[in-house]
Chains A and B, each alone.
Chain A
Amino acid sequence: MEQKKKVKPSLFRNNTTGIAFIMLIIFCLAIMLFLSIILPEKEISERENRTLAKFPKFTVSSYFAGDFNRGIEDHYSDTFPFRDKFLNVNDKLTKLTSQFSSGGDDAIVVIQTGERDLGGEGAGDAEKAQQEAEEEVTD
């Protein structure tokens, strides 16, 4: 049974614009990669009041358990170029997706996602994340 193949209309008019786009994207990615190599790495985030993840120590067991690679991922996102600026943008974005109170007389409590205390057996994600973060610091 051969499925009918629908050809989707192309977003890009011609090859030139397509190439321009992909090259621009690769350029942006490469710039950030370059910056992440040359910019000095911070060890502490004043903004979040915590120690940033250090580059993990390599051991055979940590490699096969996947901890080494995960450590690199954490370290990379913690030392990402202009991290604090991106966090500011993200804060604005979060406000946009989570604030729609009608204001005025409606007595509606505005609660941010993740701040709600769930109690009981399934502690909230925020709590878990915090616990994990704390464990990392003490490590």
Chain B
Amino acid sequence: MVFSSLVFIYVFLTITLILYFFAAKSIRQKNVVLLLASLFFYAWGEPKWIILMLISTAVEYYGAIIVDQYREENPALAKAALGVSVSVALGFLFIFKYFDFFAFNFNSTFHTDIKLLGFTLPIGISFYTFQTITYIVDVYRRKAEVQRSYFRLLLYVSMFPQLIAGPIVKYVDVEKQLTARSTTGKKAGNGAYRFLIGLSKKAIFANVAGDIATQFLDGNLKELSVVGAWIGILAYTLQIYYDFSAYSDMAIGLGKIFGFDYPENFNYPYISKSITEFWKRWHISLTTFFREYLYIPLGGNRKHHVMNLLIVWAFTGLWHGAAWNFILWGLYYYVLIVLERLFLSDFLERKPAVLGHIYTLFFVIIGWVFFYFDDMERLKSFFWIMFGINGNPFTNITDKAVFVNHLLFFIVAIIAATPVSRIIKRYFLKLSRTNETWSLVCDGALIVSGLFLLFINTAALVGSTYNPFLYFRF
């Protein structure tokens, strides 16, 4: 059940909202509603491996209790409990996500015959594994209090808005909200509007961009023109941003409706002036996780700096999928970031800002080629086509037509990926605060536009039969 489906919005969410706001009175009852809804939501998509999430949470739950109890009198035991708990969580992730990849490559390199497990990836495992790790590590670091209720910890792990595609919420971020949170009318209204914005990004922008991208990227590469290749990867660049940031918007919005404050995950990544900046604006919760729970514990920039960066970027790549193209994609960013730290940042700072923008966008777009093609042969061919090396035509009539047909879409989608919406919002807010008449007009406009978005998106969802999120794969 994806957020952008009719059954999610009009059945699951509707019933959950009604129970949460009208049936449950105390915070305890509200938590029960949320927990049951979340478990139902997860079991809907993952009927078998929900057990894995329950066990994984139990391991971290008991692990953290041991850590908390023995930190003073027996530090070695506390450390061991931390090590075992984290290893179990990562072990599950390894078995389900990476084992077959490593076994396959080992087999083909050393001509061995290790049996592949053939598991399908449990939904959201990459996200919730990291969330449970933040919990036990922060208990060990005394940043978080130990959680005495298994069900409350399970609620943190399984909260349906963020369970299957992030953002990766650190336990400390929501620790207090598990027992005391305020759902004000303002917050709930903002949350609902944010959800609708996210829904539009997905149901309209990402789906249209996705349609265009697959036409060029999934076809016969022998017939693809140079221009077609660039249009295709540009459409994919838009799709992946709208798709993934839509999911974060919807998660953050839903969180707000229920009184939770989740961290922001995207901050207009495509306006970055450097790759370093890009990664401060793209999937922020993942980079934060790797910085706080891997890079800094390794020694950060104080010792083995270049080595630490290599480890972090190899893992960042691998986190996105058990395939060579993701590893390449991670290492590609490693190289760019090391170059920036060495000299490129200084060089770019002395040049006009536009150069930084062009440089960043160019390399980010090239990066998405690595990200898209998990077939190495196609990856290579596509690169050759992009740079006109293997003699494909520069352009052809159909590519040109598809581009012209969607020109309006491209223009709107590109503009909407910049902070122009923030400027409109600020202007709107200023206007709404000038006098009482304008306030009423703006209130009305806000409510009507929200209902209009719901209507348009419902139509788009009725019209689209198939619209999975890209980040479901991770």
Q: Which residues of A contact B (CB under 8 A)?
A: 1, 3, 8-22, 24-26, 28-30, 32-33, 36, 63-64, 66, 69, 72-73, 76-77, 80, 83, 86-87, 89-91, 93-94, 96-102, 108-114, 116, 118-122, 124-125, 129
Contact = CB atoms under 8 A, between A and B. Distances in A.
Given A18-B189, A25-B450, A129-B466, A114 B460 contact: no
A119 B183 CA distance: 54
Interface stretch (B28-36, B44-52, B57-65, B147-155): B44-52
Nearest to B444: A17
B21 A26 contact: yes
Contacts of B439: 13
Interface string B273-311: 000000000000000100010001000000000000000
A131 to B, nearest CB: 12
Nearest to B120: A66
A86 B47 contact: no
A10 B190 contact: yes
Contacts of A101: 404-405
26 contacts: A15-B186, A17-B189, A17-B447, A18-B187, A21-B447, A21-B450, A22-B189, A22-B192, A26-B14, A28-B451, A36-B10, A64-B47, A64-B48, A86-B459, A87-B462, A89-B459, A90-B459, A90-B462, A90-B463, A90-B464, A94-B463, A100-B404, A108-B404, A109-B401, A120-B220, A129-B466
Given A24-B447, A109-B401, A19 B189 contact: yes
A123 B398 CA distance: 16
Nearest to A34: B14
Q: Enumerate the 10 nearest inter-chain pairs by beta-carbon distance, A residue then B residue, closest first.
A: A120-B220, A18-B189, A90-B463, A15-B185, A18-B185, A118-B219, A19-B185, A89-B459, A86-B462, A29-B14
Given A29-B17, A108-B400, A118-B215, A18 B186 contact: yes
A14 B223 contact: no
B14 A119 contact: no
A77 B185 contact: no
Given A98-B405, A98-B406, A109-B401, 11 more contacts: A18-B188, A19-B189, A22-B188, A28-B451, A77-B5, A96-B408, A108-B404, A118-B219, A120-B223, A124-B219, A125-B211
Interface in B168-186: 184-186
A88 B416 CA distance: 26
Interface residues of B, number: 79
B470 interface: no
B208 interface: yes
A124 B5 CA distance: 23
B211 A77 contact: no
A93 B192 CA distance: 23
Contacts of A20: 189, 447
B18 interface: yes
A33 B14 contact: yes
Contact of A69 (B44, B184, B458): B44
Contacts of A109: 397-398, 401
Contacts of A33: 10-11, 14-15
Interface of B: 1, 5-7, 9-11, 13-15, 17-18, 21, 44-48, 184-193, 204, 208, 211-212, 214-215, 218-220, 222-223, 257, 263, 288, 292, 296, 397-398, 400-402, 404-409, 425-426, 429, 432-433, 439, 442-443, 446-447, 450-451, 454-456, 458-466
Contacts of A110: 401, 405
Prevailing SS type, chain A contact patch: helix
A113 B215 contact: yes
A87 to B, nearest CB: 6
Contact of B45 (A16, A69, A112, A129): A69
Which of A3, A18, A66, A93 counts the most B-chain CB atoms under 10 A from its CB?
A18
B7 to A, nearest CB: 5
Nearest to B257: A22
Contacts of B189: 11-12, 17-22
Given A11-B446, A17-B443, A120-B220, A22 B185 contact: yes
A10 B188 CA distance: 11
A43 B262 CA distance: 43
B190 A124 contact: no
Contacts of A125: 211, 214, 218
Contacts of B184: 15, 18
Contacts of B9: 29
Most buried by B among A10, A19, A24, A113: A113
Contacts of A94: 463
A69 B7 CA distance: 10
A108 B404 CA distance: 8
Contacts of A102: 404
A15 to B, nearest CB: 3
A16 B7 CA distance: 29
Contacts of A77: 5-7, 461-462, 465
